[in-house]
Structure 1
Amino acid sequence: MRALVYDSYRGPVSVRDVPEPVAPAGGVVVEVRATGLCRSDWHAWVGHEDVALPHIGGHELAGVVATVGTGIERWRVGDRVTIPFVEGCGRCDWCASGNSQVCPEQQQPGFTHAGSFAELVALHGADTNLVRIPDSVSFEAAASLGCRFATAYRGLVSRARLQPGEWLTVVGAGGVGLSAVMIAAAIGARTIAVDPNPAALTLARELGAEHVLETSDGVADLVHELTGGGAHVATDAVGTPEAAATGIHSLRRRGRHVQIGLLPPVGGHPRIPMDRVIGWELDLLGSHGMAAADYPDMLALVESGALTPQQLVRRVVSLEEASTLLPALEHARGAGITVIDPWLRRTPRRPRPNSPSESS
């Protein structure tokens, strides 16, 4: 199969032929129809994540079950599926309680094993982790749910318990941040989006942000002014110490901050304004994806039209195009989500033995 591969951290990224994966026990192989290009993939490429080299990234995906491993009860070849980026083991107490997103034995496509920047990907713990895609939801929309949208949904709904009428500050209007804006609008919350990119702010306003602010030193003070005392909830959807501090300083007393953007300990753990956290009794909450068990409520909102993740998909690219886009993610300024179709520009499509015939 063709896959997007790099052999060293910050090294060249190329499309090459690699052996097809084999379904693990309790797992499946999925023919990838859509996979998101995410900043987390960039973190792996630069070495902020410890991945085995050479490596195939990609963790937001949707596709069709191509082969089924031993011990599978719920899935068969041809099923349309997606998966959270955390694959729980399915055996521990955390998985049994529906919290596989914090499973101690978790695996992650694109990080702990080869990911979805390929025509095929092997996935573990299928009966615990796979999620059926409704026929009305496209592969592109489903792929966007696996990391950015689902993480924002869990962060706001389950962790911060954002309520109708509350103010939310979203720092960073990339894929996660725009997902948060859409989810807040569906809940009935009032959102302020903060980002240095005017195009991203324009899209945030289209998706429901009441106010948009370009990043500046005084942005937290502006939030307090606009909200009459500060936001009830804030989220860092970027993953920088500056973005986290902006979110925290934008909160009113006893507010809740949700950290969604990755803050890798590069050069030591990042500084957080704990004096404000203590003095104002703020809650700091982490959000690490969302378990498959929690997908039905979110998918029901997607099917009803209350949530429209497909609006975030701004372009679909080939593996070849992705090879140049991945290293450039650090400074990317495009708005919305980029999705890779690993089969794009393969005409005619290369046949596979027993390949599902369903088209997207």
Structure 2
Amino acid sequence: MQAVVLEEFQEPLEVQDMERPESESHGAVAKVNGCGVCRSDWHCWQGDWDWFNYRPDPPQILGHEPCGTIISVGEDVENVSEGDNVAIPFNFACGKCSLCRNGHENICENHVGLGFMDEAPGAFAEEVHIPHADINAVPLPDEITPDTASGIGCRFMTSYHAMAHRADVGNGETVAIHGLGGIGLSAVHIANALGANVIGVDLMDEKLRKAEELGATATVNASEVDDPAVEIQDMTNGGADVSADALGIATTCQNAVNSLGKNGRHVQIGLTTSEEEGMISLPTDAFVAKEIDFYGSLGLQPSRYPEMLEMIRTGKIDPTKLVDKTIDIHQVPDELASMTDYNTMGIPVCNDFTS
């Protein structure tokens, strides 16, 4: 089968012929219908994230935002059948540890990251293996087409978890989203659907306009103001209720935290680069004096997919609004290369794996 393969960090990616995966006894193999092209794939290609064990030993197939159709299942699989259309979370869970049993499958004690760890070759490929398929292959309602499902991978579902669960965004709250890539724009769209008044912050007017299309009530071009955090403090008469850093660099994280008012809640979605290596200085005293809460957000539990899928089915949120373009597998390397200069918007999706 054809697949996008990382042979060496920071060197050009190649489409190669690879062996098709086979189902483990607890797993299933899916024909990939679509896979989002995410900045997290760019991080993996650059060799980032070894500080939390998200760097594979090349060669590795990249890609972690797939949906697909089941084509084979292992002998111990009970709830998934050939022909099922499924969403496939990147945060593979074992389904047996205490965290999984208590509804925290996304941070499973035996967590395996699709495309990011040796144990799970990725989904920029014609087929992908899904371990522990009874928990990690999430059935899609008939009303949700593969085109729609292709947009709900890492960025959209992570933003859903961040807004709906971790920050617990409520009606009438002000939410400041810093960084309007695929994660940030997804968070804007979802927070708006949850009833929030959303402020989008970025350096690019094109992304700010897209945020407004997705429901932002206001935007801030961070390159045109002295201090975007102060700007938001002024706009909100004291600070936002919720902030999110959707990029993962020191500037956006610090600006996001500093844009909060008292009792504010910050949710960190973006992961850092090799420049920060997971360490960003923050205004600790402000956390104390203003009683600010800081939350991390990783993926989405498979057990909580149904609530997101129901909001999609009923039209309250629509991941297709985030899909900027569709490409074939041979265009994936160039699409990832363009992310070096932040030259992508929304969610590019690879939906042709055989050209």
TM class, shorter-length = over 0.9
The match for 1:194 among 183, 197, 201 is: 201
- Offset of residue 73 of structure 1: 0.3
**How far 1:264 moved relative to its partner?**
4.7
Partner of 1:326, secondary structure, is: helix
Match of 2:269 in 1: 260
Gaps of 5+ in 2: 50-54
1:139 to 142, 146, 153: 146
Q: 1:32, 1:342 within 8 Å by CA — same for their partners in 2?
A: no
CA offset at residue 278 of structure 1?
2.3
Task: Indicate conservation of the 8 Å contact 1:140/1:313, yes or no.
Answer: no
Aligned position for 1:19: 19
Asked if 2 retains the 8 angstrom alpha-carbon contact of 1:155 and 1:287, the reply is yes
Q: Is the Cα–Cα contact under 8 Å of residues 10 and 327 in structure 1 kept in the other structure?
A: no
* Residue identity in the other structure for 1:240: I
Following the alignment from structure 1 to structure 2, what is the Cα–Cα distance between the partners of residues 272 and 25?
A: 46
Aligned residue pair count: 345
Secondary structure class of the residue paired with 2:122: coil
Q: CA deviation at 1:257?
A: 0.2
Which residue of structure 1 aligns with residue 52 of structure 2? none
1:300 equivalenced with 2:310 (yes/no): yes
> Counterpart amino acid of 1:311?
K
Aligned to 1:180: 187
Q: Which whole-Å CA distance do the structure 2 matches of 1:337 and 1:238 have between them?
A: 14
2: CA distance, partners of 1:200 / 1:187: 21
Q: Structure 2: how far apart are the matches of 1:169 and 1:181? A: 9
| Runs of 4+ off more than 3 Å | 264-268
Alignment check: 8 A CA contact 1:197 1:333 kept:
no
Residue aligned with 1:188, SS: coil
Within-5 A mapping of 1:126-275: 126-216=133-223, 217-264=226-273, 266=275, 268=277, 269-275=279-285
Aligned with 2:3: secondary structure? strand
More moved, 16-25 vs 131-140? 131-140
Structure 1 stretch displaced more, 215-224 or 151-160: 215-224
Kindly indicate whether the alpha-carbon contact (under 8 Å) linking 1:148 and 1:176 is maintained by their aligned counterparts in 2. Answer: yes
Residues 212-253 of structure 1: CA deviation (Å, up to 9, x unaligned): 111244111111111111100000011111110010000001
Partners of 2:163 and 2:201 lie apart in 1 by: 17
Instruction: Work out which of the residue numbers 71, 75, 80 in structure 1 matches 2:80.
Output: 75
Tell me which amino acid in the other structure corresponds to 1:195: D
* In 2: Cα distance, 1:334 partner to 1:39 partner: 9
Distance 2:273 2:91 in 1: 18
Q: Report how far residue 6 of structure 1 moved.
A: 1.9
Identity %: 37
The equivalences for 1:303-322 within 5 A come to 303-322=313-332
Instruction: Find the residue that maps to 2:61 and give its secondary structure.
Output: coil
1:267 Cα deviation (Å)? 5.2
Higher mean alpha-carbon deviation, 37-46 vs 330-339, is at: 330-339
TM-score by length of 1: 0.93
Rounded Cα–Cα distance in structure 1 between residues aligned with 2:168 and 2:10: 38
Question: What whole-Å deviation, never above 9, does each CA across 1:119-151 have from its counterpart, x for those lacking one?
Answer: 011111110121111222222321322211111
